[in-house]
Structure 1
Amino acid sequence: MQPIIDTAAVSRLAADIGSPRAAASFVSRFTDLLDERILGIERSFRSADPTQWHESVAGLRSAAATAGAGRVQATATLLLADDLDARTALALIGQLRSDARIFTLAHSSLCEEQAFAERLAMRRFA
């Protein structure tokens, strides 16, 4: 099973960008847009346009990989299977929504933990 937050991916992002703060900002923005992206996937599924469907899911999978959302990425990969039937697709979209909620909660918790650690460090040096 994929990790909720792939810290290695977040570290790679920080190294690629050259800034841990910019990487954290990217992950926060990804998290903020996650529900909207999943709604777009649901709409493209209902539209029966395979190109739109593929682009929506592939875009989320790529962004999730960059942001370290391991389970979101894994579920999006399953959604791109060629032999996917409608019932399985709907179940996977539900799983994607659940994965997104878990990632959002984990990310929020991580941000709070980091802020707390920064406050403690400031007190030590004050």
Structure 2
Amino acid sequence: MKRMAAAMAAGIVLAGTAASAAEAAPQNRRVCQSTTLFVSHTVCVDFQNDVFDADVVRMEVRASTSTGMGHWELYGPRGTIKNSLDGEWKNRTHDWSGWQDGANGDLWCAVFWKDMGGGSGYIRGTQPLCVKAGGI
């Protein structure tokens, strides 16, 4: 229903001239959060088009300080969306593009999992950093 209303709004004629496709096309809404606890990093989430739509079309995390060895996990309310490859992260970005169904109030997060080496597994290297879905 929301998408149909947005499509109908795109066809409205303003001051006797039709809006161009570029002007009428809704833009994705990007919301970012940053922290400097343990590792300085930022997570950004692109929500699909409509101001009140909570569907996610892109997520990314960027570490600006060294993480040590490990990987980033991007996840939403229904679990893991994408894990990065293992490595040392500094001034690098891990991202995902696609589509995830979302609802108002959902959390979309990134967390770094530190490799403890020698096959001993991973520990959480950062606290989850999250963006909360919601209308503006």
TM-score normalized by the length of structure 1? 0.29
Q: Which has the higher helix share?
A: 1
TM-score normalized by the length of structure 2? 0.27
Q: Which has the higher strand share?
A: 2
